[in-house]
A and B are shown apart, each in its own frame.
Chain A
């Protein structure tokens, strides 16, 4: 991604917050336009987490995480080359922020969902990354982790 493209995306984020989803948010990352109001009932959240294979709820956005733990989730996904994931910024929507905690019965953000199922927060994702479980879970979703290709390169040297 060229420097001017990421600057454009960052500018859009500053102006476009709350203006609805879509638009330039980075490679394949989408943001919920939950500005429709009350987009946080259990049914709506259920649909949201099932809409995409990889769904994360963050403080901030993948381009501008507002919290160290949310940033860690973003970086781990980036390491594995996961590009097409849905990222929802709870700081944009207090109802979403509380709603998702009630939905998963989990007290903190970030929250990671794989294939519609709650996986955990930053701690769990980090441990899964370290022990190889994340590569396996991604494989089950038909996503090939970039780390597998790295390893292959290393093995063939």
Chain B
């Protein structure tokens, strides 16, 4: 089972039609396989945080079975635009 940051990034980008995805392999900082992801997608518009995170969880359902720790940040394109301006 391929669990590279690159693999996760492509899958998230594809399944969530994301306009921007960042995946950081945080395994070195923790005791086991862990990742931190940032996903920017129009699919998150109008959805509360929990629903957004569930979309990501569903996309990576298989992979999460093998990941020990997972952090995620989910933004709409508008929110991402504001972040970049900070």
Taking beta carbons and an 8 Å cutoff, which residues of A are in contact with B?
69, 105-108, 118-124, 127-128
Contacts and interface: CB of A to CB of B under 8 A. Distances in A.
Interface of B: 49-50, 53-54, 57, 64-65, 69-73
A69 B73 CA distance: 14
Contacts, number: 28
Nearest to A125: B49
B64 A107 contact: yes
Contacts of B72: 123
A118 B50 contact: yes
Contact of B49 (A107, A108, A122, A124): A124
Contacts of A120: 49-50, 53
A116 to B, nearest CB: 14
Contacts of A118: 50
B69 A123 contact: no
A70 to B, nearest CB: 11
